[in-house]
A and B are shown apart, each in its own frame.
Chain A
Amino acid sequence: MTRIRFHRSLDDLKEKLLVMAGMAEQSIQRAVEAYRTRDLSICDLVDRGELAINRFEREVDQMALDLLAMEQPMAIDLRFILAVIKINADLERVGDSATGISDRVRELEAFPMADLPVDTPKLASLATGMVRKALQAFIEADAAMAESVLSMDDNVDKLNETAYFTLLNVMKDQPHLAPQALAAVMISRSLERVADHATNIAEDVIFWVRGADVRHHMSVSEIHPA
């Protein structure tokens, strides 16, 4: 009763999701680069990438739906397909965040570059690093690696919060820099959302591999007591 064709289809689904993951990761990196350089041609690439990501999202969902309907997956296979559906949605939203950043960059075209006292590149590096690590955990079916992603989210949250209050002060103290500061707040918020999506992906990997639901701050030790 070995289900060779079905398991090949699962491999195909994983491969498709990983292609999409690569596009989403590239998209956020490009958006951050566009912000750093104010290069609108990179924004165009982000927008085109978003169209492709949206197309992949539909295709991945369709493949997953077909497998659920036709193959009645069980246990780890069922959890895998559920995880893929959810990761798919998170990756699409990473793409949306990239587009959001790209839109802010276009809005900033009318304003001079401002030297703001926030470390957006560091935030971007942390958020994209979380996405990369969550996807690596997915590739390797490594729940321990996925767990390490969860603990990274607090740093991103703190950086985002610090950026928010710092930029608020900039807007109060230097109103002429308000447009740039406001854009930076929104970009910081987008990157924080990217980190949240990476967290979601990591949680889905843990669910797939271990069958444990660690969402909403339930610690792994609560579910797998020593």
Chain B
Amino acid sequence: MGVGIKVENLNAWYATNHALLDINLHIPGNECTALIGPSGCGKSTFVRCLNRMHETNPIARVTGKVEMGDTNIYGDISPVEVRRRIGMVFQRPNPFPTMSIYDNVAAGLRLNGFHNRRILDEVVERSLQNAALWDEVKKDLRKKSGASLSGGQQQRLCIARALAVDPEVLLMDEPASALDPVSTAKIEDLIFQLKSQYTIVIVTHNMQQAARVAERTGFFLNGKLVEFDSTHKIFTNPGDKRTEDYITGRFG
């Protein structure tokens, strides 16, 4: 099941560039939360802080508190375990190109020490089904490489790969921005289905997409969280003039 994420006084830097300034918010469990804002506003940095990807950049630094359920992810827990529990899907589908579809999905499990064939088979099938890809690839699981799939299928394969290690939270950084409308619709349907099992945070430049898939939306600007509210409120009657100006295209 998905868990909530509580963020307190989160600050992040790239060298001297203060990229996130005192972010405080509570992302509810088993919901989809969308993050919007102009390029460079800090929304991608923010999600990278949620699973400690930010610190993989040698010039990056982060302070503050992020709690996933009862776990302080910057506390006594390894970054690898954090990233298992908080999966991530990126803008460009990035399957392991030389691996089969099966091996792509099983890779995370194997990395975590699972080698039992029966268990791997079960998890690969379940993950591909949850990613709405099973029916399209079940005949070619071991024959075809991940890279041979279409862009939309590759992205769902990456979602399956993230789901295989049984995360509680799924972070998606513009997961459909490189996809055609049909593939985008499939990803959005998938998000809708997945939120009963996972907490989903999606970064998107497509405001209609945020409106379609997310219960809550946060608007970032210049490293600050300007507004965080129900998606309905944000897109029909936002409380902050800057949010309204952004979503109505009056600046950006």
Contacts and interface: CB of A to CB of B under 8 A. Distances in A.
A78 B248 CA distance: 9
B235 A2 contact: no
Interface residues of A, number: 14
A211 B236 CA distance: 8
Given A1-B38, A211-B236, A211-B237, A75 B247 contact: yes
A79 B237 contact: yes
Interface in B201-252: 207-208, 235-238, 243-244, 247-252
B248 A76 contact: yes
B249 to A, nearest CB: 3
A100 B220 CA distance: 55
A77 B248 contact: yes
B247 A3 contact: no
Given A1-B38, A79-B237, A211-B236, A72 B208 contact: yes
Nearest to B250: A2
Given A1-B38, A1-B252, A2-B252, A74 B237 contact: no
A75 B252 contact: no
Contacts of A1: 38, 249, 251-252
Residue of B238, B250, B251 with most partner-chain A CB within 10 A: B250
Nearest to A74: B247
Nearest to B205: A1
B76 to A, nearest CB: 43
B237 A3 contact: no
Contacts of B249: 1-3, 6-7
B248 A73 contact: yes
A75 B250 contact: no
Interface string B187-203: 00000000000000000
B237 A75 contact: yes
Interface of B: 38, 207-208, 235-238, 243-244, 247-252
Interface of A: 1-3, 6-7, 72-79, 211
19 contacts: A1-B38, A1-B251, A1-B252, A2-B252, A3-B248, A3-B249, A6-B249, A7-B250, A72-B207, A72-B208, A74-B207, A74-B236, A74-B247, A74-B248, A75-B244, A78-B236, A79-B237, A211-B236, A211-B237
